[in-house]
Amino acid sequence: MKVGIALSGGVDSAVAAALMIESGYSVTGYHMIVLPTDGAITQAVEDATKVAEHLGIELKILDLSHQFRETVIEYFKVSYATGLTPNPCVLCNDIIKFGIFAEQILADNNEAIATGHYARIIRDDDGRFFLARASFDRKDQAYFLSRVKKEKLSFIRFPNGELSKEEVRHRARSLAIPVHSKKDSQEICFIPDNDYRNFLHGEGIESSTGDIVKGNGEVIGRHNGLTDYTIGQRRGLGINFREKLYVKDLDFTGNRLVLGRREELVSFGLEAVDPNWYIEPEREFDCLCKIRSSMNAVKAHVKLLEADRVAISFSDGAWGVTPGQLAVLYNDEVVLGSAFIERSC
């Protein structure tokens, strides 16, 4: 079988490529450019080239910078401008990596696409494919993949899904892969310095200063513009107060930044829109839910409200429900579906 491997220039995709080769696949590497380079060779391209040469496979470069700007970056900007906290990696995986990028790889005479993600694709006895969490939760990335459409799962491969990060590093060292000691990326790929506020300002997304208030309406300071904040934020609020306060709400109508004590950010329900299902859901069902990638899944009850809307309730509460982020639903290790959080309730 011919497989296209997405080579980012990092250690995860390099080891994934090596594992596919070891498994007997005919592998071609593909590197995706998402930002204009003006013809310059980026470090990522250099690293991907070194990996491909070391593994003895061809590398092809696909420039998707225009499509990336029109989808992921625009979504990022519009979300912040309208009071939502975006998750650009989620949209990129859906529309770019496993959308346009995958389509071009498959059109290049490949039968499947492999990446270095830490997740698994499992197949049941009826031949249906499901997205599942990685074997090692600490690096699990199924949360970020939960918008990828179920009909695509049959041609996706995640070779690293059964490995820990430490095992991947060990494999890379044992194979003398050139990027074996390269650090993991910690920032949004199109914001190298991780300063999203400065990025938004540079893109013309501005918001005016206004009052910082407590839940009772008491004014306790001034904010720099609501696009500079996100729900759950505690640092960088620019106030000195006698108790620890967190961003509870972004009131765009009144241009107010609403703060509250930590316990005030606990919600017992939310509504979410645009669900992406991997199963045919019942009208109501119990499951596990994550509203942030880093949290432990909590018990939840899901009720379908309309075709494009769900209500999710938490018997023990969930902290920091953030509009714009993703609520991902699980049955143990298997992803049932996901939807974008609209509001807490």
For residue 287, indicate whether it is catalytic. no
Catalytic residue from among 189, 287, 289, 345:
189
Q: What is the DSSP letter of 2?
A: E
Distance CA(58)–CA(48), nearest Å, equals 11
What are the tokens at 322? 């953030």
Whether residue 225 is annotated as binding a ligand: the answer is no
Residue indicated by tokens 């592998």: 27
Catalytic residue from among 92, 287, 289, 345:
92
For residue 289, indicate whether it is catalytic. no
Whether residue 32 is annotated as binding a ligand: the answer is yes
The answer to whether the CB of 324 falls within 8 A of the CB of 86 is yes
Whether residue 236 is annotated as binding a ligand: the answer is no
Residue 15 class from Cβ within 10 Å (0-12 exposed, 13-18 middle, 19+ buried)? buried
What are the tokens at 4? 């296209």
Q: Residue 117 phi/psi, 5° resolution?
A: -65, 150
Q: Residue 259 phi/psi, 5° resolution?
A: -110, 155
Distance CA(224)–CA(250), nearest Å, equals 12
Q: Residue 309 phi/psi, 5° resolution?
A: -150, 140
Whether residue 304 is annotated as binding a ligand: the answer is no
Distance CA(210)–CA(207), nearest Å, equals 9
CA angle 49, 50, 56 (to 5 degrees): 85
Distance CA(325)–CA(292), nearest Å, equals 7
What are the tokens at 25? 């696949």
Whether residue 12 is annotated as binding a ligand: the answer is yes
What are the tokens at 178? 């050139």
The answer to whether the CB of 234 falls within 8 A of the CB of 261 is no
Whether residue 13 is annotated as binding a ligand: the answer is yes
Whether residue 208 is annotated as binding a ligand: the answer is no
Whether residue 337 is annotated as binding a ligand: the answer is no
Distance CA(329)–CA(158), nearest Å, equals 20
Distance CA(316)–CA(27), nearest Å, equals 47
Whether residue 44 is annotated as binding a ligand: the answer is no
Whether residue 10 is annotated as binding a ligand: the answer is yes
Residues belonging to the binding site are 6-13, 32, 116
Residues belonging to the binding site for ATP are 6-13, 32, 116
Active site residue ranges: 92, 189
